[in-house]
Amino acid sequence: MAALYQGFPPSLVYCETRMTTTTVPESQPFQAEVAELLNLMVHSVYSETDIFLRELISNASDACDKLRYEAISAPDLIADGAPPRIRIAPDKKANTLSVVDSGIGMDRQELVDNLGTIARSGTKSFISRLTEAKDGANLIGQFGVGFYAAFMVAERIVVTSRRAGSDQVFVWSSSGGSGFEIAPASDEDAQRVTRGTEIVLHLKKEAAKYLETYEIERIVRAYSDNIQFPIELVPEEGEPRQINSASALWQRPRSELTPEDYKQAYQQVAGAFDEPAMTLHYRAEGRQSYAVMLFAPSTKPFDLFDQARKGKVKLYVRRVFIADDADVLPAYLRFIRGVIDSEDLPLNISREMLQNNPQLTQIRKAVTGRVISELESLGEKEPEAFAKIWDAFGPVIKEGIWEDFERREKLLGLSRFTTTKGEKRTLKQYVDDLRPNQTDIYYLTGESVERLKSNPKLESATARGIEVLLLTDPVDAFWTSAPLDFGGKPLKSLSQGDIDFALIPLLEEKTEDKAESGADEATTIALIKDALGERVSDVRASQRLTSSASCLVAGGGAHDRMLERLLAMQNKAPTTKPILEINMRHPLVAALAGDKDVAEDLSFLLLEQAQILDGELPEDPAAFANRLNQLVLRGVMKQ
């Protein structure tokens, strides 16, 4: 037995030995998400059903790619000499449309796993979004749902498949609903399917137009013209003929390609429906030659924030597909889609070896640099196109500020910020507009721009006309924890450490008159420290505040308050105690020093209102409410 499988990939041997031998069809239920998706699809009124063919062709093309890749180490798989190709055959009498490929095929288990579940991560949330959305059907179109899209046009689907190199053929069939059947193929079926997969769609009445050859040609030209493998139309009468141009588009010179070609190439390679917001197509020659065709999408995919942070750029070697998870670009560019086709890498490079291959490392470095400079120039020349990319992927790109030390300054330069001066501001604009004597770039992190704008920590900066970056993406709390500067100006958090605005002039002298509250600073601070004890690490007179009474900041060496909170939520780090800053000119502070009876309550109130303004709850909300009531009542009684 073992000798028989010599040279086959282990996965194949494993599949053969675990194969069951049932001959009666076996019914199996769909994974719950699949059933839900099918239900949606059947009842949707989505009118652009054409995409089903694109999805089936794309799967057939993937299967041909996989076969070519596996055949590099197991040439027996293609010993029959039959080239990988895709055929489409309409049959008006039977009312069926068949899509047949001579690719890798599927064994029994693969049929069950691949056509009964959805493995893609993020699917659950995607489907629940589909179900909730009023225009769920449009979302189907936007994201593509692969194989299952065929149920939009077919009432019954029969898939007959032979894994390359196997002597077993299986038939998967389903009419949608809650499940499918799986059984060994009859002799006749097995003879017909010599390698790969045959998908027969029994069309719904309203989908009969897909039996017309001109319809099929139209759709293939629109969506699949650049599939690398020949797509042949098998008419009911006459000879099969190829209906796509089957060129590896990225190998052709730019001058030959139209914007429409690029759009189609992007949609094909990314499985997307939007327009590319940026296209980068070039050929590198020299120490290494390779072709690059990359795109930035204009809309967000639903799995962008997956834990795995996997990139999706496809790696080819001399036109042979090798892998789509070769991490050719760093994780913070994982939204970029497309193809890199190397002339120099060995064809038989294993996926494991890809990580450490020095040639690929060079390509990685060069292409990453090129993508970033392309983004830079897009930002300058076509700000609107760049804005689309930034709105969709800015939070992802910002991960790079933290991760990619070498390109930190470049990525900071690429970033766009909402600031107290407006939207989409660059750090270059910020630095150009610095106030006299201002040497730092100030920012504040929080949950929303509205919240941040009313944060007391902005008061003194506002009085001096100092621009402040308002950072509201969760990732902002992380990258800002690295030591950063831009153009020699350090970035500084307004809720952290010592802020010294003394040398920066006020916009209007009178907004911050030096009227003292009369309270003695040292005594007041001692009183508050006494009352709050361990709850804060220090109490100080503030430079940040002009009209509010108090705010909380982190110590110079500690994490920013926002990061502190995120880490605490994930139990990642012990929290450090904040510093309470008080506004010595505020009447509440003056009252505190003047009345020993209320000093403790007022101290707590200063702390608790600062917490609330930061979007946090006081430690003991009930005690807070109680305290507040007592103080208000006291005030009322006095009057």
Contacts with ligand ADP, residue ranges (CB under 6 A) = 55, 59-60, 63, 101, 103-106, 114-115, 146-147, 197
What residue is closest to Mg ion based on CB?
Answer: 146
Q: Minimum Å distance from CB 268 to Mg ion?
A: 11
CB of 89 to ligand ADP, least distance (A): 15
The one of ligand ADP, Mg ion, none whose footprint includes residue 111, by CB under 5 to 8 A per kind, is: none
Side chain identity at residue 448, one-letter code: S
Least separation in angstroms between residue 15's CB and ligand ADP is: 13
Gap between the Cα atoms of 262 and 638, Å rounded: 77
- Residue 103, binding choice from ligand ADP, Mg ion, none, Cβ under 5 to 8 Å by partner class: ligand ADP
Which of 121, 359 has the CB closer to ligand ADP? 121
Interaction partner, residue 211 (Mg ion, ligand ADP, none; CB < 5-8 Å by kind): none
Our finding on whether 146 is near Mg ion (CB under 5 A) is: yes
**DSSP 3-state assignment of 252?**
coil
Amino acid at position 213, single letter: T
Residue nearer to ligand ADP on the CB measure, 103 or 618 = 103
Residue 425 C-beta: closest distance to ligand ADP, Å: 39
Please provide the distance, in angstroms rounded to a whole number, between the alpha carbons at the two ends of the chain: 99
Whole-number Å distance between alpha carbons of 374 and 388: 15
Q: Which two tokens stand for residue 563?
A: 């990061």
Nearer to ligand ADP, 33 or 391 (CB): 33
Residue 506 CA to residue 502 CA, distance in Å, equals 9
Is 455 a binder of Mg ion (CB under 5 A)? no
Structure tokens at 351: 């996926």
- Residue nearer to Mg ion on the CB measure, 145 or 579: 145
**Alpha-carbon Rg for the chain in angstroms:** 32
Question: 146 vs 184, which CB is nearer to Mg ion?
Answer: 146
C-alpha distances (whole Å) from 400 to each of 37, 368, 570 are 36, 12, 22
Q: Tell me the closest approach of the beta carbon of residue 8 to ligand ADP, in angstroms.
A: 17
**By CB under 5 A, which span of 24-32, 63-71, 143-151, 334-342 interacts with Mg ion?**
143-151
Contact 544, 580 (CB under 8 A): no
CB of 200 vs ligand ADP, minimal distance in Å: 12
Q: Does 338 bind Mg ion (CB under 5 A)?
A: no
Strand order in the sheet with 241-242: 26-29, 179-184, 169-174, 154-162, 196-203, 96-101, 86-91, 231-233, 241-242
Contact present, 486 and 412 (Cβ < 8 Å) = yes
DSSP label at 248?
-
Report, in Å, the least distance between residue 210 CB and ligand ADP.
18
Helix (H, G, I), strand (E, B) or coil at 164: coil
According to CB under 5 A, which residues from 409 to 438 bind Mg ion? none
Look at residue 104 and give the partner it binds from Mg ion, ligand ADP, none, a contact being a CB closer than 5 to 8 Å depending on partner kind: ligand ADP
Site size for Mg ion (CB under 5 A):
2
Toward ligand ADP, which CB reaches closer, 49 or 59? Answer: 59
* Alpha-carbon distances, residue 275 vs 130, 264, 266, 300, 301 (angstroms): 22, 9, 8, 12, 13
Site for Mg ion in 255-274 (CB under 5 A): none
CB of 9 to ligand ADP, least distance (A): 15
From CA 455, how far away is CA 50, in angstroms rounded? 52
The DSSP result for 188-239, as a single string, is HHHHH-SSEEEEEEEE-GGGGGGGSHHHHHHHHHHHSTT-SS-EEE--SSS-
* In the complex, least distance from residue 573 CB atom to Mg ion, rounded to whole angstroms: 42
Query: Positive or negative, the Cα torsion across 78, 81, 87, 93?
Result: negative
Please pick, from the candidates 59, 264, 298, 493, the single residue that binds Mg ion as defined by CB under 5 A: 59
Residue whose CB is nearest to ligand ADP in the complex, by number = 146
Which residue lies nearer to ligand ADP by CB, 271 or 413? Answer: 271
Which CB atom, from 39 or from 418, has the smaller least distance to ligand ADP?
Answer: 39
Which residues are paired to 338 by β-bridges? 294
* Closer residue to ligand ADP in complex, CB, 197/550: 197
Tokens of 536: 């804060």
Q: Which is nearer to Mg ion, 59 or 174 (CB)?
A: 59
Beta bridge partners of 27: 181
Supply the DSSP string of 586-636, one letter for each residue: SHHHHHHHH-HHHHHHHHHHHHHHHHHHTT---SSHHHHHHHHHHHHHHHH
Give me the helices (H) in 251-398, please.
259-270, 351-354, 358-381, 383-397
CB of 40 to ligand ADP, least distance (A): 15
Residue 60 interacts with which of ligand ADP, Mg ion, none, CB < 5 to 8 Å by class: ligand ADP
For the CB of residue 578, give the shortest distance to Mg ion in the complex, in Å: 51
> Pick from Mg ion, ligand ADP, none: which does 44 bind, CB < 5 to 8 A by kind?
none
Nearer to ligand ADP, 223 or 624 (CB): 223
459 binds, among ligand ADP, Mg ion, none (CB under 5 to 8 A by kind): none
Could you tell me the smallest distance in angstroms from the CB atom of residue 229 to ligand ADP? 12
63 binds, among Mg ion, ligand ADP, none (CB under 5 to 8 A by kind): ligand ADP
User: By CB under 5 A, which span of 142-150, 293-301, 502-510, 512-520 interacts with Mg ion?
Assistant: 142-150
Q: Which residue number, 147 or 295, has a Cβ lying nearer to ligand ADP?
A: 147
- Listed in sequence order, the DSSP H helices in 426-508 are 427-432, 449-453, 459-463, 476-479
For the beta carbon of residue 75, count every other beta carbon within 10 angstroms: 10
Under 8 Å between Cβ of 417 and 471: yes
Residues that bind Mg ion (CB under 5 A): 59, 146
